[in-house]
């Protein structure tokens, strides 16, 4: 719409329109400013990133804390699984750091399990920090990451180099995003040292993956994309983020929404391989969609909700039902010889379904009957080795009734106001006390008289 004054006019008419135009301009600028602010736009008009905005946001942290405080199922049970992880807290003993890390290089594959556990610990401790406000966890997370940042010299060339970069890079970026954008008390210089390591060794390997011709099964491309997207958000790199989105939709690779899931049946590119890798691919796809959703981009809905069809297909088959199957010629031409769907790993469920179910059913009101049936059997979802945290992170609906018989010894004796009130012992002479964050049980000294029917 244009506004202008044409021709010869008297002074009053001119001034009246000047005031009108000036006022209109101010209104328009004000409205634009409000829209820009609500859309998260920077001064140059480019959309800014939401921080934290990879696996958690401020809103999701607030929601999880509320559920945890109310012991709401299944989120609270997911939190207990995190809290009881052997990788969480000061007691965890780091395996590394190692100067070189690899999954399969003959000289360095001995580091595979150790370094993966260390990066999982850093990620889980970052989550525990943001959910408990206990900075001990933040410090533990950063100590692990800083140790690697000062030691790691490279990820040697090997078959799995780029897969490693995606698997572990996602954990590193997710942990850093939390530590950087919350009141963790971690100095920015420490964070930037780890960011430098991430970009130098992990991002470089992911760049190499994007640059090479397709040659892998689809889970690789999806794993690299979720880590690439996470790194882009951490480093505020819009071009990098857009590249990840474009690859997910248009890449010439098995690891894209077009090429990994059949639009008609939901069959996966790896369905004939085994069920473990099929769920691994879906897990990475869920993170790509959820992380993008936090940034205001709906990748869940692409190609008529094709991701939903993939989840339903895998859930249906792993619940024991029959599914349609066709021989699939994949993008590389290397993985097109599986004549039937694989039964390898059938029924071994990975914690990957809560995020897509939450989106499609709770956010969008769609139906996922097989996924729902599966979750009812296997909820609460815990962790998988890639760092997804199931029910804790991704359940957003009203609390569910806890299954009958579900219970935990879950008193938090580390609280400043913790007492043993309500706890009793059935054995006589036992005294209970709180000491150093634990409930201590002092048993009465037993007599030396043998119990009847036993020997001393």
- Tell me the per-residue pLDDT of 194-235, one tens digit each, with 9 for 90 and over: 999 999 999 999 999 999 999 999 999 999 999 999 999 999
Quickly state the pLDDT bin for 403 (edges 50, 70, 90).
confident
Q: In 10 A of CB 223, how many CB atoms?
A: 30
Q: In 10 A of CB 428, how many CB atoms?
A: 6
Q: What is the DSSP string of 128-165?
A: HHHHH--HHHHHHHHHHHHHHHTT--B--SSTTHHHHH
Whether residue 91 is contained in a domain is answered as: yes
User: Are 276 and 388 contained in the same domain?
Assistant: yes
Whether residue 205 is contained in a domain is answered as: yes
Domains: count for the chain: 3
User: Are 218 and 345 contained in the same domain?
Assistant: yes
User: Are 365 and 274 contained in the same domain?
Assistant: yes
DSSP letter for 20, please.
H
User: Are 130 and 191 contained in the same domain?
Assistant: yes
Whether residue 106 is contained in a domain is answered as: yes
Whether residue 201 is contained in a domain is answered as: yes
Whether residue 28 is contained in a domain is answered as: yes
Full domain range(s) for residue 3:
1-48
Average pLDDT across the chain, whole number: 86
Rounded distance between C-alpha atoms, residue 201 and residue 63, angstroms: 35
User: Are 228 and 259 contained in the same domain?
Assistant: yes
User: Are 227 and 331 contained in the same domain?
Assistant: yes
pTM to 2 decimals? Answer: 0.81
User: Are 265 and 120 contained in the same domain?
Assistant: yes
Whether residue 83 is contained in a domain is answered as: yes
User: Are 93 and 10 contained in the same domain?
Assistant: no
User: Are 12 and 86 contained in the same domain?
Assistant: no
User: Are 34 and 62 contained in the same domain?
Assistant: no
Query: Which region among 89-103, 267-281, 373-387 has the lowest average model confidence (pLDDT)?
Result: 373-387
User: Are 417 and 314 contained in the same domain?
Assistant: no
* Phi and psi, residue 47, nearest 5°: -65, 130
CATH code of the domain in which 158 resides: 1.50.10.100
* Phi and psi, residue 408, nearest 5°: -145, 150
User: Are 373 and 233 contained in the same domain?
Assistant: yes
| Structure confidence at residue 200 (pLDDT) | 98
Residue 16: pLDDT over 60:
no
Q: pLDDT (tens digit, 9 = 90+) per residue, 333-342?
A: 999 889 999 9
Whether residue 403 is contained in a domain is answered as: no
| Structure confidence at residue 234 (pLDDT) | 98
């Amino acid at each position: 719409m244009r506004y202008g004054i044409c021709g010869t006019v008297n002074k009053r008419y001119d001034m009246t329109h000047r005031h009108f135009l000036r006022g209109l301009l101010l209104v328009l600028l004000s409205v634009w400013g409000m829209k820009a602010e609500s859309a998260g736009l920077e001064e140059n008009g480019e959309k800014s990133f939401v921080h934290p905005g990879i696996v958690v946001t401020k809103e999701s942290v607030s929601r999880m804390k509320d559920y945890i405080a109310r012991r709401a199922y299944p989120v609270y049970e997911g939190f207990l699984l995190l809290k009881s992880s052997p990788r969480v807290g000061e007691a965890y003993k780091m395996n590394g750091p190692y100067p070189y890390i690899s999954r399969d290089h003959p000289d360095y594959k001995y580091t595979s399990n150790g370094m993966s556990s260390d990066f999982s610990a850093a990620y889980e401790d970052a989550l525990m920090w943001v959910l408990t406000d206990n900075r001990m966890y933040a410090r533990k997370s950063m100590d692990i990451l800083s140790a690697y940042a000062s030691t790691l010299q490279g990820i040697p060339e090997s078959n799995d180099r780029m897969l490693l970069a995606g698997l572990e890079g996602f954990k590193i970026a997710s942990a850093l995003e939390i530590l950087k954008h919350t009141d963790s008390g971690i100095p920015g210089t420490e964070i930037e040292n780890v960011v430098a390591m991430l970009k130098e060794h992990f991002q470089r390997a992911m760049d190499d993956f994007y640059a090479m011709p397709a040659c892998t099964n689809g889970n690789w491309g999806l794993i690299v994309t979720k880590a690439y997207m996470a790194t882009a958000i951490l480093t505020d790199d819009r071009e990098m983020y857009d590249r990840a989105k474009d690859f997910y939709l248009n890449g010439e690779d098995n690891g894209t929404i077009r090429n990994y899931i059949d639009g008609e049946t939901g069959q996966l590119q790896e369905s004939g391989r085994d069920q473990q890798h099929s769920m691994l691919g879906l897990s990475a796809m869920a993170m790509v969609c959820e992380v993008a959703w936090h940034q205001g981009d709906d990748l869940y809905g692409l190609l008529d909700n094709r991701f939903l069809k993939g989840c339903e297909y895998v859930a249906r088959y792993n619940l024991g039902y029959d599914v349609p199957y066709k021989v699939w010629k994949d993008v590389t031409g290397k993985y097109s010889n599986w004549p039937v769907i694989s039964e390898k790993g059938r029924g071994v469920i990975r914690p990957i379904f809560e995020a897509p179910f939450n989106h499609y059913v709770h956010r969008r009101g769609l139906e996922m009957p097989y996924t729902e049936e599966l979750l009812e059997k296997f909820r609460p979802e815990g962790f998988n080795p890639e760092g997804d945290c199931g029910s804790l992170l991704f359940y957003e609906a009203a609390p569910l009734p806890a299954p009958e018989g579900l219970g935990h010894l879950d008193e938090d004796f580390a609280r400043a106001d913790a007492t043993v009130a309500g706890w009793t012992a059935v054995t006589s002479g036992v005294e209970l006390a709180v000491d150093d964050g634990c409930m201590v049980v002092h048993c009465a000294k037993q007599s030396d008289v043998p119990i009847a029917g036993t020997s001393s």
